[in-house]
């Protein structure tokens, strides 16, 4: 039963919670005691996101049974009773918010907002066209904000903009994958897909892609950034961003990837290497 609960919490998806560390890294607090608070915040968001996945799987169990990829999930397969899954989700949320209250009041408010937003998404918002992907992106932004408030630093507006644009890029790529992979069963599996089309999603992805690259480039060159880090070298990290985005688009359009951005990051070696090199180069430049 515990294994089924853990599987339903989808540990591979916890890589998304690495956004919690954005504030720590870009506030140049990585090698201070604040790192322990950020690590605690990361663990709390892993618990909260795991609870959301449990709730989502309970809500979607009937549709998941129609999907050949999702029918083996413990709840859809009947290995994890609904009442046990709900109880586990409640325990995780209560424990996570309780620990968040210990860390900081602002962190608790952000974590609570994350839970409310994602529960609303599972129950209602995922059925509203365009709002569904905006809510997913909002979840990433709340992770980044939580990482900043837990260590009591101000989150750069540029980083918030880059975060929401990157999250939209990933969310739209996932929608496109679902639409193409499920074909005529797409709307039956996820009703909101009936409101989209590959052409519309491609246009939205193109807009967000260009906006993401532009926003990041402007961030690296802005006088505020140069003054904060005392360096003009951050634009040198732009090639990694370009390659990472283009590689992801290649995987979505040519390799039928994108169904799970987190798993794609962990399994595609060139993409993983690109992200690692970007992180190392940013750390080297701003901490030198």
Q: Please determine, for residue 132, whether its predicted confidence score (pLDDT) is greater than 80.
A: yes
**The tokens of 31 are what?**
């090698």
Closest CA to 145 of 130, 131, 164: 164
Average pLDDT of the segment spanning 44-66 = 89
Residue 252 has pLDDT above 90, yes or no: no
pLDDT at position 186 is 62
Which two three-digit tokens encode residue 109? 């408010």
In contact, 262 and 13? CB cutoff 8 Å:
yes
- Burial grade of 56 (CB within 10 A; 0-12, 13-18, 19 or more): buried
Greatest alpha-carbon pair distance for the chain in Å reads 57
Taking the C-alpha atoms of residue 252 and residue 104, their distance in angstroms, rounded to an integer, is 39
pLDDT tens-digit readout, 136-165: 999 999 999 999 999 999 888 888 999 999
214-240: average pLDDT: 94
48 vs 58: CA distance, rounded Å: 16
Helices (H), the chain: 2-8, 22-26, 34-59, 61-64, 82-103, 105-123, 131-149, 157-182, 186-189, 198-221, 223-229, 238-254, 261-267, 269-287
pTM for the whole structure: 0.90
pLDDT at position 188, please? 66
18 CB-contact burial (10 Å; exposed 0-12 / middle 13-18 / buried 19+): middle
Say which residue the tokens 């992200």 belong to. Answer: 275
CATH 1.10.357.140 fits 1-155, yes or no: yes
pLDDT, mean of residues 191-219: 91
């Amino acid at each position: 039963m515990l294994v089924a609960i853990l599987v339903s919490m989808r540990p591979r998806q916890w890589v998304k919670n690495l956004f919690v560390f954005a504030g720590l890294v870009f506030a140049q607090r990585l090698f201070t005691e604040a790192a322990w608070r950020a690590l605690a915040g990361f663990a709390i968001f892993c618990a909260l996101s795991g609870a959301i996945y449990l709730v989502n799987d309970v809500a979607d169990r009937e549709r998941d049974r129609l999907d050949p990829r999702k029918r083996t999930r413990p709840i859809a397969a009947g290995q994890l009773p609904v009442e046990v899954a709900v109880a586990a989700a409640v325990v995780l949320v209560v424990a996570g918010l309780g620990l968040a209250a210990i860390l900081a009041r602002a962190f608790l408010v952000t974590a609570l907002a994350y839970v409310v937003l994602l529960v609303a998404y599972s129950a209602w918002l995922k059925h509203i066209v365009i709002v569904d992907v905006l809510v997913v992106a909002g979840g990433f932004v709340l992770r980044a904000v939580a990482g900043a408030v837990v260590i009591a630093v101000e989150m750069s507006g540029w980083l918030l903009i880059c975060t929401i644009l990157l999250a939209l890029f990933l969310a739209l790529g996932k929608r496109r994958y679902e639409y193409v992979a499920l074909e005529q069963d797409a709307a039956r599996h996820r009703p909101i897909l009936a409101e989209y089309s590959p052409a519309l999603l491609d246009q939205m992805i193109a807009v967000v892609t260009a906006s993401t690259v532009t926003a990041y480039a402007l961030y690296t060159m802005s006088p505020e950034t140069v003054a904060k880090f005392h360096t003009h070298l951050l634009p040198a990290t732009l090639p990694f961003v370009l390659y990472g985005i283009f590689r992801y688009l290649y995987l979505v359009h040519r390799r039928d990837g994108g169904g799970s951005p987190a798993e794609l990051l962990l399994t595609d070696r060139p993409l993983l290497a690109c992200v690692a090199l970007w992180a190392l180069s940013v750390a080297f430049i701003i901490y030198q």
